Amino acid sequence: MEAIRSKFAVTLILGVTVLVGMMAAPAAGDGGPTYTIDGDPTDWGIHILTGNWSLNETWVPKDGVEFIVEDNRDPRWGGITGVHIKGVGSSYTRYYEDKVRHRDGYLVAEPYSDEPWDLEAKYLDEDDEFIYVLIVTSLDPDATGDYAPGDLALDLDGNSSTGKYGYEYGVKLGTNTGLSQGDIYYLPDWEEPTYIPENRPSVFNGYLSGGYKNGTATVVYKQISVDDNGHHNYVIEMAIPKLNVSMAGKSLKDPPTKTIHICDGCGNEHIDNSIPEFLSIAIPAAAVVGLFYYKRREQKGRGE
């Protein structure tokens, strides 16, 4: 039994070491990953242009890409449901999308009012120079009012007291919600969305005292050939220069914990997640591999 325990320990340590080694390595080739910012999601390793949207594998990206997929409603809530997973590359788990509170006090499942407001997925990667983000959404970039898309909100210093609602940088995504698409602002004056205030922030149309425009992200926001539940879908693909968001020489994987957030203009749907979640996903996977090995050894020891 003692020998088995120590073998389990060795297996676990090896598993963790291999996984940590894999995480430290660049995701692709010398100089890390790069993406062509053209609105074509194929270079992220996902198959949403040709695959079946109700299958996990359609949405799972290439190695090193951190992602959340939350197409349609969480299967727990019924109605029109879809794939709900999150992870890094091919390592992923079920994503539980909790209900949110409407301004009138009751809980609702997202996307509130369904497909026209669905944010289907968010993918994230980086190299030395850029943060890359890909979003799949049902919102038209040119829309206004309740149909307007939100802007990308960045809390990259992990400090909830810097920036309104904690988000000290913003990238303008809509074409009819003020300012210019691709603009990066420091200290944006974020708005609280109308219907589901807790999903804040949504859009910005100016900046706080001390804020300023700080460069431009490359943003391509275009309709794709796939409709979902009778509504058009769009891809937002962008490269944000690290130099312009106080991330020069830094990695998203470094502490402190960061948050990248997007919410429809009206608040009906949002996606945000803490970064890095890399370790919290990969190490339990290593532990599971080790435990499986241990169980097999144990069964063999008992002659099963």
Contact positions toward Ca ion, by CB under 5 A?
36, 38, 40, 43, 70-72, 118-119, 155, 157, 159, 162-163, 166, 168, 228
Q: Which residues on neighbouring strands pair with residue 221, listed in sequence order?
A: 236
Residue 163 to residue 159: CA distance in whole angstroms? 8
Cβ at position 14, least distance to Ca ion in Å: 36
Q: Which is nearer to Ca ion, 19 or 260 (CB)?
A: 260
3-state secondary structure 89-144: CCEEEECCCCCEECCCCCEECCCCCCHHHCEEEEEEEECCCEEEEEEEECCCCCCC
Minimum distance between the CB of residue 124 and Ca ion, rounded to whole angstroms? 14
Q: Which two tokens stand for residue 230?
A: 């009778």
Of the two residues 6 and 160, which places its CB atom closer to Ca ion in the complex? Answer: 160
**What is the sign of the dihedral through the CA atoms of 140, 146, 151 and 155?**
negative
**Nearer Cβ to Ca ion, position 43 or 66?**
43
CB of 99 to Ca ion, least distance (A): 13
Nearer CB in complex with Ca ion: 177/268: 268
What is d(CA 249, CA 131) in angstroms, rounded to the nearest whole number? 12
| CB 293 to Ca ion: min, Å | 37
In whole angstroms, how close is the CB of 300 to Ca ion at the nearest point?
45
Here the tokens at position 121 are: 């997925």
What is the token pair recorded at 125? 């990667």
At its nearest, how many Å lie between Ca ion and the CB of residue 4? 45
Instruction: Kindly report whether the peptide bond that precedes residue 256 is cis, defined as omega within 30 degrees of 0.
Output: yes
12 or 236, CB closer to Ca ion?
A: 236
d(CA 184, CA 180): 9
118 or 183, CB closer to Ca ion?
118
- The C-alpha angle with vertex 125 and arms to 120 and 128, in degrees rounded to 5, equals 160
Residue closer to Ca ion (CB basis): 43 or 127: 43
CB 37, min distance to Ca ion, A: 6
- Phi, psi at residue 223, to the nearest 5°? -70, 140
What one-character-per-residue DSSP string does 182-217 give?
A: TEEEEEEEEPPPSS-GGG----EEEEEEEEEEEEE-
